[in-house]
Amino acid sequence: SARPAAKKAASAGTPEAPEARFANGPLAVVDVDAEGHVLAYCTGGLMLEVPAKSVPALVEWTLREAKLGQPRLSGPGRDADPLLVLTGAALERYGLPAALSDGERPAGRIAEGHKVVKQLTRAGCKLTKRGFGPWARIYRPAQGAERSCVQLCIPSWNALDPRHWGAAADLPPAELARVLGVYASRVMTPCGSTAVTGLELMTALHPPTRASQPDADGRRHSERNPGSLGSDPVDCAPCEAPDGHPLLKDLPRFHVRGPGEKLFEEAYDWARPMTDAECTLRHLVGIDVNMAFAAGANGLNVGLGAPTHVKSPVFDPKLPGSWLVDLSHVDLSRVKAGKEWVALDGDLLPSPFTPKGERPTGPAWYATPTVAYAQELGYEVRPLEAYVRHDNGRYLDGWYQRLRDAYLATMADLGVHADMAPADFLAAMDGWAERDPELAIVVSAVKATVKGGLGKLRERPRGEGWRPGEPWRALSRPTWRPDIRAAVISRTRINLHRKMVRHAAFTGQYPVAVLSDCVVYAADGTSPLDVLPYRDGKPLPGGFKLGVNPGLVKHEGTQSVLWGEEVRERFDAPELNLARYIKDGTVTGVDNGE
């Protein structure tokens, strides 16, 4: 079929509403056709002719004529910069390499002496500190309040990590514009890796500053935006600092901090040998919590400012912070589930207080949700000391809601809707990604945005050149907040444990393995419905529930009990975490010390 005619972009004129200024969408994929014409593939099937003969001219055309960009997500924020994605043919046309050389790859950018970088300098354009790399940001010095900035994405330089974007980098231009356009409209215009974008989304929804009310002279000033993290970084508490942090520079060399010195809130990696009764069952069924860490962020009260150190505090479950407390007395064989005390086989459950599921042996540092759960289970807590944050709020609520809505809308496009009956949901999830592989890429990217954004809150320095004691660039960001990451992971792990306790109290079934957000149970049948106690179509209150919403569960995979026993025997690992392999049963190379 004939290709639709490309349109010329209209020249910029008088100030326009955002809808008109960004009439052609948030981004375009720039390619060269067989006749040598440079075309910009926009969202919605629109194509624009690109007259630019050089990268500086391409930047100028984008800023003046292309009408690309996206309105701000929050009143005090700023509009998203236009994004240009350059295909291999476009790279060749504009004098850029098809791939970074071996010498350029460690730095992640082309050399400052490259002819295109020199062209930009001569044209009065600047690059950010990360230089001309896979996600290059090119800007002109601001004129008043107006930003003049264009973001480039170069897939062949590994801008679109296949772990998160699948085969997006290999898609034809129009299809790639669709994938990135759906992500941009539902999340935000990508501005780096999914992790970088996840972090930028937090800031876009809660900009650090806003304009004040007019003063006596009618002038407005910049002031902190309430509910944000502000413009200045804050120090973490010593217990929250990762190894190598400047706060720990006085520790002896090779000192290993134990639980009483270091906050260690991480996701589960726990497994146990199967009981004789479980070995008589036929199957191992894995269930996986949808968007578990996003659900853990929902409604969570987190610190906004610096911590305050207190000795012998009274624990306050509403106060975000890190608490040094002994939880070794919590006995999982007798706990409260709701208002009732219940008797359980505590040896068949992981401890809720440690990622490996081991019972604590003495005082350790925990985030607020972990300590609050010990109280919820019916046990007294007496912290020895704490670092608490009196300036706090539900900073991640808007972030969660935007990512939840993006996930649900895209899954609905793929035929999986909220509030489906359990059997209908399981049927809809069967082969969901094959219905529209391009939208399946968007789902993968949304999930990676959640995990990566939270990971960035405690970003560590990378690269062979870094040495302990040297500055971390990430520490200069207000969004370097390991305490917020710890609180989200703590709450996610506690949410999962609460469901496992309810499930055990009601059914007598206990998990065989737990890995992050996946739980494996032994069962007679192959379906989650053979594990989960539905009555008249209704799930156990407070337990696991099938569904697409964040916090609900889907089927991760089913293998035979014989498979599980054979794998553990083959690798001589009686507590090998079968949740890691339950999806397709493939086991390659196992670390015996898991």
pLDDT for 517-549, tens place per residue?
A: 999 999 999 999 999 998 888 899 999 999 999
Q: So what's the pLDDT on residue 81?
A: 96
Q: How confident is the model at residue 13 (pLDDT cuts 50, 70, 90)?
A: very low
**Is the per-residue pLDDT at 355 higher than 80?**
yes
Last residue of a domain, one of 368, 392, 416: 392
CB 496 within 8 A of CB 268: yes
Co-location of 35 and 157 in the same domain: yes
pLDDT above 90 (res 17): no
Cα–Cα dist 480/201, whole Å: 14
Q: What is the C-alpha separation between 479 and 204, in angstroms, rounded? A: 12
Residues 11 and 156 occupy one common structural domain: yes
Q: Is residue 559 part of a domain?
A: no
Q: What is the pLDDT of residue 5?
A: 65
d(CA 482, CA 29): 36
* Same domain as 159, residue 11: yes
Residues 146, 258: one domain?
Answer: no
Average pLDDT over residues 452-478: 82
Better-scored residue on pLDDT, 104 or 151: 151
**Residue 445 to residues 114, 183, 188, 243, 526, Cα–Cα distance (Å):** 32, 8, 12, 30, 29
Q: Burial level of 342, CB count in 10 A (0-12/13-18/19+)?
A: middle
The predicted structure's pLDDT at residue 225:
86
Alpha-carbon distance 204 to 201, whole Å? 5
Higher-confidence position of 346 and 141: 346
244 & 376 share domain: yes
Predicted confidence band of residue 593 (pLDDT cuts 50, 70, 90): very low
Identify whether residues 143 and 244 lie together within a single domain.
no
> Quick one: pLDDT at residue 144?
61
What residues contact 36, with CB distance under 8 A and at least 6 apart?
A: none
Mean pLDDT of 558-562: 98
- Residues 195, 455: contact at Cβ < 8 Å? yes
Phi, psi at residue 173, to the nearest 5°? Answer: -55, -45
pLDDT at 182: 98
**For residue 480, is pLDDT > 50?**
yes
Q: Which domain holds residue 367?
A: 238-266+298-392
Average pLDDT, whole number, for the chain? 93
* 254 lies in the same domain as 113: no
**Claim to verify: residue 248 and residue 352 sit in the same structural domain:** yes
Q: Which pLDDT score, from 0 to 100, does residue 219 have?
A: 76
Q: Is the pLDDT confidence value at 348 over 70?
A: yes
99 domain residue, yes or no:
yes
CA–CA dist 302, 392 (Å, integer): 5
DSSP symbol at 538: B
Q: Are residues 135 and 250 in the same domain?
A: no
Residue 15: the pLDDT is: 46
- Residues 385, 250, single domain; the answer is yes
Instruction: Quote the CA–CA distance of 132 and 153 in Å, as a whole number.
Output: 10
Q: Which pLDDT score is estimated for 594?
A: 38
Phi, psi (rounded to 5 degrees) for 552: -90, 175
pLDDT over 80 (residue 589): no
Do residues 426 and 527 lie in contact, with contact meaning Cβ atoms separated by under 8 Å? yes
In angstroms, rounded to a whole number, what is the distance separating the alpha carbons of residues 579 and 594?
13
Which residues have C-beta within 8 Å of that of residue 92, sequence separation ≥ 6? 32, 98
Residue 259, amino acid? P
Contact criterion met (CB below 8 Å) for 445 and 165: yes
What mean pLDDT is predicted for residues 22-40? 97
Close Cβ partners of 359 (under 8 Å, ≥ 6 residues apart) = 328, 351, 353
Residue 472 confidence class, pLDDT cut points 50, 70, 90? confident
Q: Answer yes or no: is pLDDT of 592 > 60.
A: no
Tell me how far the alpha carbon of residue 118 is from its chain's centroid. 36
Q: What is the pLDDT of residues 150-168, one digit of tens each?
A: 999 999 999 999 999 999 9
Measured CA to CA, the distance from residue 109 to residue 405 in angstroms comes to 35
Higher pLDDT among residues 293 and 591, named by residue: 293
Pairwise CA distance, residues 376 & 371, whole Å: 9
Give residue-wise pLDDT tens across range 106-145: 889 999 999 999 999 999 999 998 999 999 999 988 766 5
Average pLDDT over residues 78-107: 95
In a domain? residue 429: no
Asked if 135 contacts 191 with a C-beta cutoff of 8 angstroms, the reply is yes
pLDDT per residue as tens digits for the range 231-256: 999 999 999 999 989 999 899 988 99
| CA–CA distance, 291 with 447 (Å, rounded to integer) | 7
Query: Is the model's pLDDT at 333 over the cut of 80?
Result: yes
Read off the DSSP letter of residue 89: H
* Res 305 pLDDT > 60: yes
Domain boundary among 125, 140, 163: 163
C-alpha to C-alpha distance for 556 and 241, rounded to whole angstroms: 34
Domain count, the chain: 2
Per-residue pLDDT of 273-300, as tens digits, reads 999 999 999 999 999 999 999 999 999 9
State mean pLDDT over 463-468.
58
* Domain contains 524: no
Q: What is residue 460's three-state secondary structure?
A: coil
The encoded tokens of residue 295 equal 């659900």
Contacts of 296 (CB under 8 A, 6+ apart): 488, 489, 491, 492, 495
CB 521 within 8 Å of CB 509: yes
User: What's the pLDDT band for 381 if we cut at 50, 70, 90?
Assistant: very high
pLDDT tens for each residue of 191-232:
999 999 999 999 999 999 887 777 777 777 778 888 999 999
